[in-house]
Amino acid sequence: MNFENLLTEEKIKEIVFKTLENSEIFCLITDYEGKILYSNEGALKITDYQKNELIGKSIYSLLINASEIEKILKSEKVFKGFIQGKGKSGMNFHLYLEIFPIRENKKIIGFVYLGEKILGKEKLSNFSYAEEFDIITGLPHEKAFSTVITTHINRYNEPFTLLIVDICGFSDLSITYGNREFKFYCQNRGR
């Protein structure tokens, strides 16, 4: 008997589940309100939480700009794009994330979050990070900007306005207000 004949639908589900369970891919399943019902090992590793700490927690407590993502999900659109989150240790993580609705009788009852960590020592060197993201704000610039804009256009498929601001003497603000206050201001205003 060959392998193909052994692959029943149930066996395929088991293989996929076991593979995903131990994968480094970020995988969470939530209910409609965002309560985490399932986490694989990849999501635990990225967020620094233990399974018993993460299950029952709100996905929105992990994500930065969570209200924007929640609006997209509640509009029944599939989300595909870059997100930033905060792990248990307080360290930020960055993911390319795809969020798919789970439907029962045409009604959304939850979401599957699948993603890959795109930043960190495992994926990018500090030099590469600095090339793609602003060190102070964590926002994409130059190299990553086109990817972020393309993702936005593909996701919404609607006209939008883009405002680009170039502040002359930007570094002087750091000298005037001090590095700590300047960094805090930039991180909060840049989002």
- pLDDT surpassing 60 at residue 129: no
Domain boundaries, the chain: 1-123
The answer to whether residue 126 scores a pLDDT higher than 50 is: no
Residue with tokens 């964590």: 138
Tens of pLDDT along 39-96? 999 999 999 999 999 999 999 999 887 777 787 777 777 888 888 888 888 888 888 8
pLDDT, one tens digit per residue, over 154-188 is 667 777 777 777 666 666 766 777 767 776 777 66
Closest CA to 77 of 165, 178, 154, 161: 154
Q: What pLDDT sits at residue 49? A: 94
* Burial (CB count within 10 angstroms: exposed 0-12, middle 13-18, buried 19+), residue 61: exposed
Stretch 91-118: mean pLDDT: 89
**Mean pLDDT of the region 4-18:** 82
pLDDT at 1 over 80: no
Residue 125 confidence (pLDDT): 43
Residue 3: pLDDT over 70: no
CATH fold label, 1-123: Beta-Lactamase (3.30.450)
What is the C-alpha separation between 52 and 82, in angstroms, rounded?
26
Pairwise CA distance, residues 66 & 134, whole Å: 21
Q: Which two tokens stand for residue 72?
A: 């997209």
Give the orientation angle of helix 179-189 with respect to helix 170-177, to 10 degrees: 130
pLDDT value of residue 151: 66
Rg, Å, the chain Cα set? 20
